[in-house]
Chain A
Amino acid sequence: MTADVQAGAPAIPAATPTAAVATAGRPRRAPWRILWWLIFLAGVAYFTLPLVGTLAFSLRAIPPLSAYTDILTDQQFFTSLGYSFVVGLLTIVISISLMVPTAFWVRLRMPRARPAVEYITLLPFVVPPIVLVFALISTYSHPPLPFTHTDIGSTALLVCGYVVLSFPYMYRAVDVGLRSMDIRALTEASQSLGANWFTILTQVILPNLRVALLSGAFLTLAIVIGEFTMANYLARPAFAPYLSLLGSNEPYQQSAVALVSFGLTWVAMGFITILGRGSRSKIAVTGAR
């Protein structure tokens, strides 16, 4: 290529960049790379320091590791974390099932409804959680929909509340993911091949949203595990109420629990990543891999 250009034509200024690309082989030059490393490492330092601070404080207990051993011997730590994790998974599934079709439909067919839908998804930020939970209890503690009369019903109400809390994050994640693919072309192609809406959503759109869905799932799980007000007032055995009970009684243990739950949530998210990697058979046509 380079030889052709040099032999066939008089000096064409455009030859130089092409040559540079062809000979360099790497699109990014080394000096820039250092800058990106610096940015990354500065961020990592910012994230790590407060965790180190918490660790240092938790080790002030006497004896130093007692805060941690106390946790591991407390049965309730694991049951409450387990409960929150299960509720989190349910919330993720329902939220994805609700948000992906909605975001897809808005982008494809109803762009004018977008501001309204976006506003509704952002409302959970400004409705105080205590108002939300008391309103839900007031509405659903009697027929026709007496959720709170049973344990399962109360948990179901909690899950629905958490789906609402996940609205902003899940919608935004899915929306950003959908932007990076040409859903119009994909939809038409699928329709011309005879697919119905369900098939389009599950076999074409979803596989291409893997990264976005992972982000949404992570954010939702984090919310569920950290959420206190709703779980508390609905009298659910979740993790955050357990953590707060600890906090008022055991200062060193509270910090230890925060770190341990940090770590366990990380493991849980790794678990979700593996789950999400499952569908290798579907080929990502375009967009995020």
Chain B
Amino acid sequence: MTGSVVQMNAQGAPTARPGRRRFGRTWLGLAPFAIFSTLFLLIPTAYLVVGSFQDPAGDLTLQNYADLSDPVITNAYATSLEISLVTAVAGGVYGFLMAYAVISAGLPRRLRSGLMTFSGVASNFAGIPLALAFIFTIGRTGLLTTFLDSVGIRPYESGFSLYTKVGLEIVYFYFQLPLMILIIAPAIDGLKQEWREASENMGATSRQYWRYVALPVLMPSLLGAMILLFGNAFGAQATAYQLTGGFINLVPLLIGNQLSGDVLHNVGLGYALAMGMVAILGITLIAYSVLQRRSERWLR
């Protein structure tokens, strides 16, 4: 008590005392997670790291990393990044809107639990069944396409095709959107009604409420959810393979070619490609952490 300054948090109450700097005790709190992730995640990742430095004969080499500069591969990274960012932002924005619609915008309460449960199911509707579902709906001979044809609108003749980057993004949206809805729901719940009323009492318009109260409060959660969406799309493979047959260059597909193909079997290159993804994820996380800290600054 004497000599130590009592810290105050935003509400003016004293914060929990950090206690003496007993490093051991504090780190112990992370022990279960550390042990579990080492056993079942970090050890496999070590295989990935070590394998990326091996050539088909098993000797150590840097060739795999040198091979990453191949234009086909760099194009794949660029495309993967683009699709992941687009679907993360699009899914993030629309997911937020839909979640807000059923939670706080005055729609009937029953719709909320329906949407949440459906989102749970839809969030993992991916891979071949999802690709097929979209082929059956907006493919060349899809249900919607033939219906539109019958009323005179011919999407495929005006240049639309499911089998393009945009088409793939439309399909990815199907599991990005529910993911966002599920993750952001607790944050929207946390937006207190009193804040809205208080801001209206002070004469704020709806837009000012959003700009100065709601969005800043939500921003850390929104960012966190969007990085999840980014990672989700970044690693997706089965859907893209079925839908594009390798026509669209994506890194998970290249990895699949090396690791699970019938033809190529340069496992080391596959691992190096995955390590490239690990590195990109790291960079994205750093950017995200910077944004996070800035968005949380005023909350302290």
Whether A and B touch directly in their complex, counting CB atoms under 8 A apart, is answered as: yes
- Chain B 269-300 near chain A by CB (<8 Å), digits 1 or 0: 01100100110111001100100000000000
Task: Among A108, A115, A131, point to the contact of B285 (Cβ < 8 A).
Answer: A115
Q: How far is the CA of A218 from the CA of B122 in the complex (A)?
A: 10
- Cβ-based interface call for A28 (8 A): yes
- From residue 115 to 134 of chain B, which have CB atoms closer than 8 A to chain A? 115-130, 132-134
The DSSP consensus for interface residues of chain B is: helix
- Cβ-based interface call for A49 (8 A): yes
Of A2-10, A70-78, A179-187, which stretch is located at the interface? A179-187
Interface contact B227-A53, CB-CB below 8 Å = no
Tell me the smallest distance from the CB of A140 to a CB of chain B, in Å: 9
Q: A128-B252, A176-B221 are in contact. Are A222 and B260 (CB under 8 A)?
A: no
Interface contact B40-A160, CB-CB below 8 Å = yes
- Chain A 86-118 near chain B by CB (<8 Å), digits 1 or 0: 000000000000110110011011100111011
Q: How far is the CA of A124 from the CA of B281 in the complex (A)?
A: 11
Q: How far is the CA of A254 from the CA of B127 in the complex (A)?
A: 13
Tell me the smallest distance from the CB of B50 to a CB of chain A, in Å: 10
Q: How far is the CA of A230 from the CA of B235 in the complex (A)?
A: 16
Interface contact B41-A164, CB-CB below 8 Å = yes
Interface contact B235-A108, CB-CB below 8 Å = no
Question: Which residues of the partner chain B approach A225 to less than 8 Å between Cβ atoms?
Answer: 124
Q: How many A-B Cβ pairs are below 8 Å? A: 298
Q: Which partner residue on chain A sits nearest B139 by CB separation?
A: A53
Of B54-62, B67-75, B106-114, B150-158, which stretch is located at the interface? B106-114
Interface contact A127-B128, CB-CB below 8 Å = no
Question: Which residues of the partner chain B approach A173 to less than 8 Å between Cβ atoms?
Answer: 182-183, 186
- Cβ-based interface call for A17 (8 A): yes
Interface contact A273-B117, CB-CB below 8 Å = yes
Interface contact A176-B203, CB-CB below 8 Å = no
Task: Among B16, B190, B281, point to the contact of A180 (Cβ < 8 A).
Answer: B190
Task: Among B39, B48, B136, B200, point to the contact of A57 (Cβ < 8 A).
Answer: B136
Q: How far is the CA of A123 from the CA of B275 in the complex (A)?
A: 11
Tell me the smallest distance from the CB of A149 to a CB of chain B, in Å: 17
Interface contact B132-A255, CB-CB below 8 Å = yes
Interface contact A102-B187, CB-CB below 8 Å = no
- Cβ-based interface call for A235 (8 A): no
Interface contact B117-A266, CB-CB below 8 Å = yes
23 contacts between A and B (CB under 8 A): A17-B201, A26-B106, A28-B106, A36-B100, A40-B101, A40-B107, A43-B177, A49-B144, A110-B30, A123-B41, A124-B41, A126-B278, A131-B47, A164-B40, A173-B183, A179-B221, A180-B190, A180-B221, A215-B120, A215-B186, A219-B124, A219-B182, A287-B186
Sorted from nearest, which 8 A-B pairs have the closest CB atoms?
A180-B190, A218-B120, A53-B137, A222-B124, A135-B44, A53-B136, A125-B231, A50-B133
